[in-house]
Structure 1
Amino acid sequence: MKIDLHSHTKCSDGELSPEELVLRASNKGVDVLAITDHDTVSALEPARDAIHKHKLPLKLVAGVEISTRWHGFEIHVVGLNIDDKQPELVALLTQQQNTRDKRAEKIAAKLARVLPESYGFTAEIIMQKVLEKAQGQSISRVHFAKTLLEAGIVDRMQQAFDKYLGRKGKAYAAPEWISVEQAIAAIQAAGGHAVLAHPTRYDLKNKWVRKLVDYFAEHKGDAIEVGLPRQNNNELIQLATYAQQAKLKSSQGSDFHRVSSYTELGSLLPLPEFCEPIWTDWNMVNPA
C-alpha cells in the first residue's frame, strides 16, 4: 500500500488545485493521501468532491500543517485525521491566517526598503502582486519568491530565500506563531494525531534535532515524520531511531508542492520494520 501523509495544494503554497492533486496521486498509485496545507483546511472539501466525481480509489486523510515557534525557529506540526470543521480548530486557523497576513505586510515593507529603486517596488505594489499570486488563499513566502523571480530580481526560487526571505535574508520577518504545544493540543482536540514535520529540515544541528523530538514527545505529540522526500537510508534510520527512543509513532510524506524531478507523490523509502506507523489503527480500506 502506498501512503503519502504530507502534500500541498494551491490553497497554500502548492501549485496544483485540490482536484489536480488527487488525480495525480491516484495516477501515481497512491492509496492513502493526506492534504496538509499550511494553516488552512480549505482544500479538503474540493478534494473530497473530486474523489467522488472521478470515482478514485483513494483514501483521503483530512490534514493540516500548523506553523509554530520553538527557540526562534519556525517548526511545523502536521495534524492528521482531524475533524476539519471542529470550531476551535477553525478559530485557531483563522488566527494563524491573520498572523500570516501581518507577516506578509512586514516582508513587503522590508523588501521595499532593500530592493533597488529601479524596480519601482513599493510595499503596496509588492503586496498587490503577492495577493494576486495567492488568489485569496494562504499567503506564504513562496508567493514573494515568485514575485521576485518574475521581476528578474533573482534567477531562481532558492536565491530569493537565500538573499531575501530566509532566516538570514534581508527581508526576513520573524513570525509570531503559536507554540508547539498549542498546535498539538488543538490537533488532538479536533480528534487528530499531531506529527512533527520533517525534523531534520530546520537547519538544526543533530543535538538540537534530538532536543526538538524529545520536546515534542514531552508535550504529548503522537509521531514524527520519518520517511521524507530526497532522503538517504542513513537519515531514515536516524529518524526512525529517534522516534523509537522517544516512544513516538512514525509517519511519512513527500511534502509535495509541485511537479518536479525532486519530489513525487508516494515516492518514499519504506519505513524500517521496527517503526510503529501512525496509521496502525486507521481504516485504510474504504475510500473517502
Structure 2
Amino acid sequence: MSLVYDLHSHSTASDGVLTPSQVVLRAVENKVDVLALTDHDTISGLAEAKAQADLLGIKFINGVEISTNWESRSIHIVGLNFNERDPRIITLLASQAEKRRQRAVQIGEKLAKNGIINAFAETQKLANGEVTRVHYARYLIQIGKVANEKQAFKKYLSQGKSAYVKTQWIDIPTAIEAIHLSGGVAVLAHPLRYNLSAKWIKKLMLDFKQWGGDGVEVAGCGQTKDQRQSLANWANEYQLRASAGSDFHFPCGWIELGKSLYLPENSIPIWECWKTS
C-alpha cells in the first residue's frame, strides 16, 4: 500500500485555525504518512510541528508557501525539504513578513474609512503572528459586519473592494532561487485556483519550469478526475514532478488532511527528489 503524502497545510503560524502541533496530530489521525507544514511566508511553526511529528512517529518535511507576482496575479510557490536555518530563505521570508505587515496596516486604515475603527489592532488579537486577509475576515464576522469569510472578501477584502490592498510580492524566479539555495524544491501551488484558462495555466507552468521550478501540485481536495488527470498531463508535458497537498486550513468535509491525495499513474512524484538524496 502506497504512503499518503500531504505536502500543503497551514497552522496558526499563518491563517490556519489549528496550532502546528494540532495539525500534526490531525494528520496522524487521518492516516497521513508524510506531512509538510507550509504556512504563508513564514517558517515559525516548523519547530513545534517537527517536535510533535517526532513524538508521534510521522515523517515531517519542512515547508513554506511563498507569495509571488506573475502577470499581475498573485501566485503561490511551495518550498519543500529545505534547510530552515539557511540565511537565504530566512532573509527572503523576513522581507515577505514586512510586506505582509505593511499590507495589514493599510487594510486597517481602509476599514477605518468604512467606519470600522481600530481593526488592525483588534485583528492582531486573532492572529498568532502575521495578520492576513483571512484574519480580517474572521474579525469582520466577530463584530457582525458579515456572516462568513466569503462575504467578508466579497464586500471588503477582494480585488476592487473598499479595503483591498495590492502587495508587490517578489517574482517567481526569486522565490525559486531562495528555495534552491536553501536545499529545497519549488512547487507551483494549486494551479486551478487562479481563475486562469487552460492556455494560461500552461503558460504559467512553462514559465515556472523555465525559471527552474521542480514540480506542480497535481493532487488536491475537491478536484474532478479529469481535472487531476489534466494537471498530471501538463506536468509531464513541462517535465515537472507531481506533488500532493490538501491546502488544509481548518477541519471541514471538503478540504481535509490526507483526503483523496492520490496521484495519477503517469505522475512522477516530487518526493522522489529527496527519497534518494
> TM-score, normalised to structure 2's length?
0.96
Is the contact made by 2:245 and 2:261 (CA closer than 8 Å) also made in structure 1? Answer: no
Amino acid in structure 2 at the alignment position of 1:14: G
- Confirm or deny that 1:253 pairs with 2:252: no
Alignment-derived partner of residue 223 in structure 2: 231
Aligned pairs for 1:127-276 within 5 A: 127-135=120-128, 137-276=129-268
CA distance in 2: counterparts of 1:228 and 1:168, whole angstroms = 29
Alignment-derived partner of residue 46 in structure 2: 44
Alignment-derived partner of residue 95 in structure 1: 95
Which structure 1 residue ranges, 5 or more long, are not aligned?
Answer: none
Structure 1 residue 268: deviation in Å?
Answer: 2.1
RMSD of aligned alpha carbons: 1.2
CA distance in 2: counterparts of 1:80 and 1:232, whole angstroms = 26
Amino acid in structure 2 at the alignment position of 1:90: I
- Confirm or deny that 1:71 pairs with 2:64: no
Structure 1 residue 59: deviation in Å?
Answer: 0.3
| Per-residue deviation, residues 191-228 of structure 1 (Å, max 9, x unmatched) | 00000000110122222111111110110100010001
Is the contact made by 2:5 and 2:261 (CA closer than 8 Å) also made in structure 1? Answer: no
| Per-residue deviation, residues 43-87 of structure 1 (Å, max 9, x unmatched) | 1101122223xx312000001000001111110000000101101
Is the contact made by 2:246 and 2:261 (CA closer than 8 Å) also made in structure 1? Answer: no
CA distance in 1: counterparts of 2:91 and 2:268, whole angstroms = 32
| Per-residue deviation, residues 252-284 of structure 1 (Å, max 9, x unmatched) | 100000011221110024211111100114339
Alignment-derived partner of residue 35 in structure 2: 33
| Per-residue deviation, residues 163-207 of structure 1 (Å, max 9, x unmatched) | 211123221111111001100000001000000000110122222
CA distance in 1: counterparts of 2:61 and 2:83, whole angstroms = 10
Is the contact made by 2:6 and 2:261 (CA closer than 8 Å) also made in structure 1? Answer: no
Amino acid in structure 1 at the alignment position of 2:131: I
CA distance in 1: counterparts of 2:159 and 2:224, whole angstroms = 26
Change (3 A) 1:169 1:268: farther
Amino acid in structure 2 at the alignment position of 1:159: Q
| SS in structure 2 of the partner of residue 88 of structure 1 | helix
CA distance in 1: counterparts of 2:106 and 2:144, whole angstroms = 22
Amino acid in structure 2 at the alignment position of 1:227: A
| SS in structure 1 of the partner of residue 212 of structure 2 | coil
Is the contact made by 1:253 and 1:268 (CA closer than 8 Å) also made in structure 2? Answer: no
CA distance in 2: counterparts of 1:281 and 1:262, whole angstroms = 29
Is the contact made by 2:96 and 2:169 (CA closer than 8 Å) also made in structure 1? Answer: yes
Is the contact made by 2:157 and 2:163 (CA closer than 8 Å) also made in structure 1? Answer: yes
> TM-score, normalised to structure 1's length?
0.92
Change (3 A) 1:36 1:13: same
Change (3 A) 1:281 1:177: closer
Alignment-derived partner of residue 56 in structure 1: 56
| Per-residue deviation, residues 120-146 of structure 1 (Å, max 9, x unmatched) | x22xx11111111113x1221101100
CA distance in 2: counterparts of 1:11 and 1:282, whole angstroms = 25
| SS in structure 1 of the partner of residue 69 of structure 2 | strand
| SS in structure 2 of the partner of residue 161 of structure 1 | helix
Amino acid in structure 2 at the alignment position of 1:131: Q
Amino acid in structure 1 at the alignment position of 2:51: D
Which structure 2 residue ranges, 5 or more long, are not aligned?
Answer: none
